[in-house]
Structure 1
Amino acid sequence: MTDLESLRSALREPPAEEFAEPDLGAIMTKGRRIRRRRRLATGAGGVAAAVVTVLVIVGAVALKEPSQRPLPPAASTTTSAQPPVTSLPAVTDPAPSPAPLGETTSLGIKGEDGRELVIYAFAIDEPALPGVEFGLQVAYRNVDGSYEALLGSNEFKGSDRSFGFHAVDGGDILQNTFVPVFGYFAGPATRITSTVRGKPVEANVVPWSGDPSVMIFWFSPSDVESTGVLTPLVAYDARGQRLVK
C-alpha cells in the first residue's frame, strides 16, 4: 500500500470518540460579552479623548487670556484707537462720589454725554485699614461742579505711603466710558514707564496736592488697555535714576 492509499484509509476511519455537539448558546453569550467589553473599551477611549479635547480647549483659552490682574487691586488725550477690553454692566443709578481730598486733575478724556473724566484723592477712615488714609477716585465732573464716581481704588494692606506703587487699577469700560489704568507712586518719582508686549509706554504723572511726595499717574487708553499687560511698572526720579526699594 502506498503512502497515499494509507492516508485515504485513515481519513475514512471513524474517530475514536464522538465530539460533543457545539453549545451555540454559550458561544453567543461569550460573543456578546466580548462585544460589550469592546464597547466599554471604545467608550472609555472616547471619554478620554473628550477629556483631552476639553483640557486642550481650556488650556488654549487660559493661554489666550491675559494674566488678569497681577498688580494690587486698587489716560491723557482722547484717541480714536479702541482698546480691546470687556465691557462691564452699565450702572443705571449714579454712584455717590466721595469728596475730593485736595485738587482734582483732568484725565483729558471725555466720557458719557461729553462729560470730563477727572482723578483725585479721597479720604478713607476704615478701622480695618489702620495704615490707609486715602485712595484714588476716577469720576465724571458734571456741569454743576459735582462728581459722579466711576472707579475708586486704594491700598489694602500696610501703609498707603510706603515706598512704591499703590492702588493700580483701571482698564475697564464703565457707563460706556473707558477708565484708563491709573495708580500712584509713593516716592520722588517724576517719570513712570512700562512696556506693553515689548513696546515702551509712558504714563502721565502729577504730584498730589495733599502730599507732593505722592505721584498720581495714568496711562493713555491707546497705550495700555488693562493692568495685566504692564510688564513691569518702573519709576524714575528727576535725575533719571530708577527708583527701587
Structure 2
Amino acid sequence: MNDLDDFRAALRQPPAEPFAEPDLARIMADGTRIRRRRRVLTSTAGVAAAAAVVLVVVFALQLRQPAPAPVAQPPSPVTTTSTTPPGPAADQPMGEVIGTGIRTGRGEIVFFARAVELPQLPDIHFGLVAGFRSGDTLQSVLMTNEFRGSDRSFGFHATDGGELSGTEVIPVFGYFAGQAARITTTVHGKTVEASLAKWTADPNVVVFWFDPVAVPNSAVLTPLIAYDADGKRLTK
C-alpha cells in the first residue's frame, strides 16, 4: 500500500467526535451584517462619487462663464480756470443802473450810461443805453448819444426810443444837462410828464423817459420843456 492508499483509508475513518450541527441563525446574522456593511460602504462611495461629479460640473460651469466685465470708474474731476478776460471798461455801466419799474417778460426796462471813445467825437464821452435787467444780468437793446458839440452842454440830448424790441416797447427816453426837476411834452393836446432820475456819475445830468402808453413813439412828441425845482421854465 502506498501513501495515496493510506490517505484514502484515513478519510474513510469516522471522526473521533461527531461534528456539531451548524448554527444557521448565527451564520445568517453574520452574513446580514456583512451585507449591510457592504451596502453602507457602497452608499458612501456613491455619495463621494456624486460629490466629485458635482464639483467637476460646478468647476466646468465656472470655466464656461465669462469673466465679469470691469466696472468703469468715473473720471477724476478736472479743475479748469477760465482765461476769459473781463469785458472792456467801455462795456461797463458808468454810474448806477436806473430802473424804470416797467416789468416785461425779459425783465425790467432800465437805462444806464456807457463810455464813448471816438476820435471824431472828442467832446462826447458817454451815451445812454436802454435795456433789460433780469437778476444780475443786463441786456443792452438800444444806445443813443450826442453826435455834435459837447455831451454835457445845457439842454436836451440823445432823445430816442418809442420802438419795439421783440414784443416789448422801449419807452421814449433821453437826458437833460442841467438842473431839471420836471420835463413835459404834449401828446394830442394833452400834457404828459416824464419820469426823471439823476445820473449818479454826474448829478447835473437828468435821465428822463415817458410811459409807453401815453407816448407810444417819438413822432407824437411836441418840443420838450424842462422846469427847475421852482417851476421856472428852463427851455424856450
Q: 1 CA distance for matches of 2:91 and 2:211?
A: 24
Which structure has the higher relative contact order (CA within 8 Å, separation 6+)? 1
Q: Compute the TM-score of the two structures, normalised by the length of structure 2.
A: 0.60
Q: 1 CA distance for matches of 2:185 and 2:147?
A: 23
CA deviation map 1:187-244 (0-9, x unaligned): 1101000100111000001110000000000000111011111111000001100003
Q: Name the amino acid aligned to 1:103.
A: E
Q: Corresponding residue for 1:140?
A: 132
Mark the runs of 5 or more structure 2 residues left unpaired by the alignment. Answer: 1-89
Q: In the alignment, which of 200, 205, 212 is matched to residue 214 of structure 1?
A: 205
Larger strand percent: 2
Q: Corresponding residue for 1:4?
A: none
Number of aligned residue pairs = 147
Q: Corresponding residue for 2:30?
A: none
Q: Corresponding residue for 1:191?
A: 182
After TM superposition, which residue ranges in structure 1, 4 or more long, deviate above 6 angstroms? none
Residue 175 of structure 1, CA deviation: 2.1
Percent identity between matched residues is 50
Residue 176 of structure 1, CA deviation: 1.6
Residue 140 of structure 1, CA deviation: 1.1
Q: Corresponding residue for 1:121?
A: 113
Q: Corresponding residue for 1:156?
A: 147
Residue 108 of structure 1, CA deviation: 1.2
Q: Compute the TM-score of the two structures, normalised by the length of structure 1.
A: 0.58
Q: 2 CA distance for matches of 1:168 and 1:213?
A: 17
Q: Corresponding residue for 2:104?
A: 111
Q: Corresponding residue for 1:172?
A: 163
Q: Name the amino acid aligned to 1:234.
A: I
Please say which structure displays the higher CA radius of gyration.
Answer: 2
- The Cα RMSD (Å) is 1.4
Any conservation in 2 of the 1:112–1:175 contact (CA below 8 Å)? no
CA deviation map 1:111-169 (0-9, x unaligned): 234x11111111111111111001110111133x1211111111011100011000100
Q: Corresponding residue for 2:95?
A: 102
Secondary structure, aligned partner of 1:101: strand
CA deviation map 1:76-110 (0-9, x unaligned): xxxxxxxxxxxxxxxxxxxxx93210001111112
Mark the runs of 5 or more structure 1 residues left unpaired by the alignment. Answer: 1-96
Q: Name the amino acid aligned to 1:154.
A: N
Q: Corresponding residue for 2:61?
A: none
- Tell whether 2:196 aligns with 1:202: no
